[in-house]
Amino acid sequence: MTTILAIESSCDETAAAILRDGRELLANVVASQIELHKEYGGVFPEMASRQHIVAITPVVRQALEQAALDWSDIDAIAAVHGPGLAGSLLVGLNAAKALAYARGLPLVGVNHLEAHIYANWLPTADRDAPTSTPPFPQVCLIVSGGHTDLVLVRDHHDYVRLGGTVDDAAGEAFDKVARLLGLGYPGGPVIQKTAESGDDSAFRFPRALRVGDYDFSFSGLKTAVLRVVQEQQRQEGHAIAKEQKLSHAAIDADSSDLSIPDLAASFQAAVVDALVAKTVAAAEDFGAATVLLAGGVAANTRLRQEIVKALPVPVRMPPIRYCTDNAGMVAVAGHYRYLSGLRSGLDLDVVPNLKLVPDTP
């Protein structure tokens, strides 16, 4: 029996989880800072790391209590060491190192992106153990606030990066457009909700399918939404600065004639179309036996539905609650690293731009 305690603190969630034998999630505690960052319209790094310091000890203690275990039951400690915000990563990793040293336990460093992929191995609500490994080769679409990557997973820990965004990450595009539409933060869930009452063909936004075969580009789409908003503001007689930037433009939803639900639905459709088209191409070209979704944007209902419709092979996606940052996914990734004999030294450092696949020189 192997029991892993995992810690995640790469962005604005302080999280700890306990996983037995790679399939029994005994505890999964997430202390979210969303309320704290809302008024800034995004994550405020300095505040995030301070809040992690406040939260980390209670969160780890709560995980042990929830699992009804004590330290003698834990076999290893897994912790994310990148990518993410340096100050945030430092808090979780240093806590993990201190605990590993004090308790004489092995430390397993985990890449945050790999953890998102392994969220697909977590138990779902209706089945206790779906955690049989989906057949390889897998094509995985990682879509989060900071990353949008298409990855070929040939085996455990054997990745080939096929492509990714050349500008904004998909989640970042959701967050920026939500701000522009005056919908708040985080953008993904609120755009999805607003889009429910909108017409997704009201605006024909660009899909940017012409960038590299498995690459994405979302900045043109973001600018197209901005142009619609600017044009509306002009017609309504609002003064617009000559070089108005996305970060400074925000529609006044109450006084505008623009349909925010139509804009949200049309934007969401454009993002999903691009994500699905490139994933389907990669799955065909590389003979994927399974397609995986991973990352916060994988919580998007339209993406989940469209990708299943478009692919002839089985698609695995984490239960929605495990798509956004949590330590359960870190525990599964840590479990498979631990099983493979992979261990980290206590000199393990944070790497804010850690890659899943190292760049070839």
Of 64 and 90, the one with the shorter C-beta distance to Zn ion is 90
CB of 232 to Zn ion, least distance (A): 34
114 or 306: whose CB is closer to Zn ion? 114
188 binds, among Zn ion, ligand KG4, none (CB under 5 to 8 A by kind): ligand KG4
From Zn ion, ligand KG4, none, interface partner of 88 (C-beta below 5 to 8 A by class): none
Could you tell me if 161 and 147 are in contact, meaning their C-beta atoms sit under 8 angstroms apart? Answer: no
Residue 171 Cβ, how far from ligand KG4 at the closest point, in Å? 3
CB of 178 to Zn ion, least distance (A): 18
90-151-83 Cα angle (round to 5): 10
Give 172 or 325: the residue with its C-beta nearer to Zn ion: 325
Alpha carbons 219 and 6: distance in angstroms, whole number: 35
Interaction site with Zn ion (CB under 5 A): 144, 325
> Which CB sits closer to ligand KG4, 15 or 311?
15
Site string for ligand KG4, 175-214 (x = CB under 6 A): x----------xxxx--x----------------------
Q: Residues 290-319: x/- map of binding to ligand KG4 (CB under 6 A)?
A: -----xxx-xx-------------------
Burial 301-318 (b: 16+ CB within 10 A, else e): ebbbebbeeebebebbbb
324 binds ligand KG4 (CB under 6 A): yes
- Residue 3 binds: one of ligand KG4, Zn ion, none (C-beta under 5 to 8 A by kind): none
The string of DSSP letters for 34-63 reads HHHHHTTTS--HHHHHHHHHHHHHHHHHHH
Angle at alpha carbon of residue 22, lines to 19 and 23, rounded to 5°: 85
Nearest-angstrom CA–CA distance, 313 and 311: 5
Assess 328 for contact with ligand KG4 (CB under 6 A): no
Does the footprint of ligand KG4 cover residue 216 (CB under 6 A)?
A: no
Place of tokens 């760049």: 359
Rounded to a whole number of angstroms, the minimum distance from the CB of residue 357 to Zn ion is: 17
Contact criterion met (CB below 8 Å) for 354 and 86: no
164 contact, one of ligand KG4, Zn ion, none, CB 5-8 Å limit per kind: none
Site for ligand KG4 contains 145 (CB under 6 A): yes
C-alpha to C-alpha distance for 355 and 289, rounded to whole angstroms:
24
Closest of 243, 200, 246 to residue 220, by C-alpha: 246
Q: How wide is the angle at C-alpha 269 spanned by C-alphas 263 and 270, nearest 5°? A: 90
Q: Is 202 helix (H, G, I), strand (E, B) or coil?
A: coil
User: Given candidates 11, 19, 43, 315, which one binds ligand KG4 under the rule CB under 6 A?
Assistant: 11
The residues that touch ligand KG4, with contacts defined as CB under 6 A, are 11, 144-146, 171, 174-175, 186-189, 192, 295-297, 299-300, 324-325
